[in-house]
Amino acid sequence: MAAGELAVREETHAAPSAARPDVLDGPFTTRQLLRIDEALRLAERTAETLTFSVYVGPLHEPTTGAARKLHDQLPSPADSVLIAVSPEQRKLEIVTGTQAVKLIPDRSAALAALSMTAAFGGGDLAGGIVTGLRMLADQAS
Amino acid sequence: MTALEAVLVFAGIPLAVVLIVVGLVYGPSTGSKSRRYRPGRPFTFTPVWFLARPEEMSLASAGTDMAPASVKALSSGATAHAEDQELTGLVSATVKGGASGSW
């Protein structure tokens, strides 16, 4: 973990501020970033009441607790869905808030997690994230 | 065709071709840092967090300044104190759903 830096990629391109170079140090190419951007935007539009968020980086053990901590840092955790991927530990955590869990039951989240891990196992991080976002958003719509 | 010419044509040219191919394969690659995750290899990239609606985030977390807090939480994660926090986060978290997976 590079000194605990955290690059927050903003979906709106209004402020290509200092966060831009950081996100370019991430595991994604520009094309993959655009794909994830589009998937996030589409997910927001499909599931209007929910907010989706994707974290890719190390998680502390236990990973479920770490992912929930991250989820708590979101502005409205109840309506938020966090997809936390730790490629180093080969772990994926999907955390849904108290309101979001009504739209996305755990069984559907598990199904999305299954297809995401299948893509991650082949080394396709961006593809797995896009697939997962699409499945979760479809479920919530 | 003298002996020297024959050697140049039949040994020199294939050798040159072989050297060019070897140079292309093992030479300095332009994109030296591969931007690709490979399962099982160490993951040395900067952590990224994609937020869908940052303008609402900044509104909701006005005053608390969300990004530095998250950086702090992540960077101090290696300490035992933060690990305790993670553990309590697991225990005291409000009712949440979700799923886990590994590959």
pLDDT for res A20: 52
- Chain B residues with beta carbon closer than 8 angstroms to that of A27: 35-37, 43, 45, 48
Residue with tokens 């300044």, as numbered in its chain = B65
Write out the H or E segment, with its range, that includes residue B51: strand B48-51
Rounded CA gap, A81 and A65, in Å? Answer: 15
pLDDT for res A11: 43
Burial state string for A72-81 with b = 16 or more CB within 10 A and e = fewer than 16 = bbbbebebbb
- Chain B residues with beta carbon closer than 8 angstroms to that of A12: 54-55
With a CB-CB cutoff of 8 Å, which residues 18-37 of chain A face chain B?
22-23, 25-29, 36-37
- Chain A residues with beta carbon closer than 8 angstroms to that of B36: 27, 123
Assess contact for A90 and B102: CB atoms under 8 A. Answer: yes
The pLDDT tens digits for B80-92 are 444 454 454 554 4
pLDDT digit of tens for each residue in chain A (141 aa)? Answer: 343 445 554 444 444 444 456 777 788 888 888 999 999 999 988 888 889 999 998 888 888 888 888 888 888 888 889 999 998 888 999 999 888 888 899 999 999 999 999 999 988 889 999 999 999 999 888
Cross-chain Cβ contact B50/A40 below 8 Å: yes
The percentage of chain A sitting over the pLDDT mark of 90, rounded to a whole number, equals 36
Cross-chain Cβ contact B103/A61 below 8 Å: no
> What order of strands is seen across the sheet that includes strand A91-96?
A7-10, B48-51, A51-56, A80-86, A91-96, B97-102
Burial state string for B39-63 with b = 16 or more CB within 10 A and e = fewer than 16 = eeeebebbbbbbbbbbeebeeebee
Strand pairing class (A80-86; B48-51):
unpaired
Give A28's contacts (C-beta < 8 A, 6+ positions apart): A36, A56, A125, A126, B35, B48
pLDDT for res B60: 42
Cross-chain Cβ contact A12/B38 below 8 Å: no
| Residues of chain B falling short of pLDDT 70 | 29-34, 53-95
pLDDT for res A130: 94
Q: Return the percent helix, strand and coil in chain B, to nearest 5.
A: 55, 10, 35
Strand pairing class (A80-86; A51-56):
parallel
Cross-chain Cβ contact B73/A73 below 8 Å: yes
Determine if the peptide bond prior to B14 is cis (ω within 30°): no
pLDDT for res A119: 92
Cross-chain Cβ contact A6/B43 below 8 Å: no
Nearest to B96 by CA among A54, A137, A94, A56: A94
pLDDT for res A115: 94
